Amino acid sequence: MDNRGARLAPMSTFAALAAAEEATHTELPIPAWLIGLIALLVFVLLLGVTWSFRGTHNRYAPPSGHGETPGAPAAGDGAHWPEHPGQH
């Protein structure tokens, strides 16, 4: 009941949270566009990290025998792979 004696209708949880949020509005510590700029810079940094690992599959992949049956081990490479990659 409110202060005039009228019965209040029940509110949904979402409506109650929305009303409470409107009452407690706070300012961001930095402008909104700066938050977007920081996020963009973080994604560019992560892209650079990802880009730096390009071609690593070819460096560490087992050597393939040219002209041999696909899936067959290369001659002479079975004994030392993967213990010593690069020692062909």
Residue ranges per structural domain of the chain: 13-48
The Cα–Cα gap between 58 and 55 comes to 6
Does the pTM exceed 0.85? no
**Residue-level pLDDT at 36:** 97
Q: Report the residue count for the chain.
A: 88
Q: CB count, 10 Å around CB of 63?
A: 13
Mean pLDDT of the region 45-55: 93
Mean pLDDT of 9-32: 75
